[in-house]
Amino acid sequence: MKKILILLAFLFVLTGCELLDFIDDSEPAEGREFVTIERVVDGDTVIVHLEDGTRERVRLLLIDTPESVKPNTEVQPFGEEASDFAKELMPEGETVELERGNPDRDDYDRMLAYIWVDDENVNQRLVEEGYARVAFVYEPNTKYLDELEEAQEEAKENGENIWSISGYAESRFTEY
């Protein structure tokens, strides 16, 4: 009987810990909202579903990746790799956190945002790995600009991906 009570107490503690983890994860960080990834379009564009069911095309703020799916445009070096890396970071069906820009729309009516996975800024990860460059910097949407520029300098110094082709990233991926 004593062994059963100890076992039940142990299970209760384990279950309680899991419940506490669930409670901690049930709310997004301040200024963010939960969204579900429908699909990654390319390295810097993703389609998500908001909690209210609305479907949105999201352009990741402050970054630019080489083209991989733009109509009438050849696939640019590292375009497919950038897209594949974005898909690894944001798999279809995954719930992630989205932090809207201000303003939160661009001229093409795409939502402008940062996406967070496990409290990690996806925009920044793309820059760190050399799949994106810092671009389209417009006030007041510059909240994480310093972090992104620092990540870009490191990727550039290390010759990561887009930075491995001299002048390529600076040319907006058009000269290669």
100 part of the active site: no
Catalytic member of 59, 100, 125, 133: 59
The span from the CA of 26 to the CA of 22, in Å, is 6
For residues 91 and 37, is the Cβ–Cβ distance under 8 A? yes
172 part of the active site: no
My answer on whether omega of the bond before 28 falls inside 30° of 0, hence cis, is no
Catalytic member of 33, 57, 80, 110: 110
Catalytic member of 56, 67, 99, 128: 67
The span from the CA of 26 to the CA of 64, in Å, is 32
67 part of the active site: yes
Catalytic residues: 59, 67, 110
